[in-house]
Amino acid sequence: MSLARLPDRAVKAALLARRRVLTRLASLGTTRHLNELSCFGHPLAPRLSSALGRMRARDGSAGEWAVRIEAERSKLLASDEPLTSGSLQPGPYDQGMTVRQACLASRRPADAAALFSLVRELAPKRIVELGTNVGISSAYMAAAQVANGAGTLVTLDASPGRSRAAARMHAALGLKNVEYIVGTFDRTLESALGEPVDFAFIDGHHQFEPTLDYFDRIWRHSKDGAVFVFDDIRWSSDMERAWKRLQTDPRLAVVVDLCGLGVAIGTRDPKAVGRLVTPILSV
CB contact at 8 A, 241 and 208: yes
C-alpha 74/C-alpha 155 separation (Å) is 22
- pLDDT tens string 9-32: 565 565 555 444 434 434 445 778
C-alpha 14/C-alpha 17 separation (Å) is 5
> DSSP assignment of 78-124, as one string?
T---BTT-TTPPP-TT-TT-BHHHHHTTSPPHHHHHHHHHHHHHH--
- pLDDT tens string 231-258: 999 888 999 999 999 999 999 999 998 8
Whether 58 shows a pLDDT value over 60: the answer reads yes
- What pLDDT band is residue 275 in, cutting at 50, 70 and 90? confident
Between 7-16, 41-50, 150-159, 224-233, the lowest mean confidence (pLDDT) is in: 7-16
In a domain, 20, yes or no: no
CB contact at 8 A, 233 and 246: no
What residues pair up with 264 in beta bridges, in sequence order? Answer: 228, 255
In a domain, 85, yes or no: yes
pLDDT for res 22: 39
C-alpha 283/C-alpha 22 separation (Å) is 11
In a domain, 18, yes or no: no
Instruction: Return the percentage of the chain with pLDDT > 70, whole number.
Output: 84
pLDDT for res 91: 73
Looking at the structure of the chain, the number of domains it has is 1
- What pLDDT band is residue 121 in, cutting at 50, 70 and 90? very high
In a domain, 24, yes or no: no
In a domain, 130, yes or no: yes
What residues pair up with 98 in beta bridges, in sequence order? Answer: 82
pLDDT for res 157: 96
In a domain, 4, yes or no: no
pLDDT for res 153: 98
pLDDT for res 60: 58
In a domain, 13, yes or no: no
Q: Read off the DSSP letter of residue 183.
A: S
pLDDT for res 283: 60
C-alpha 45/C-alpha 255 separation (Å) is 10
Burial pattern 239-251, b for ≥16 Cβ within 10 A else e, equals beebbeebbebeb
More confident of the two residues 108 and 282:
108
What's the domain range around 126? Answer: 29-280
The CATH number linked to 84 is 3.40.50.150
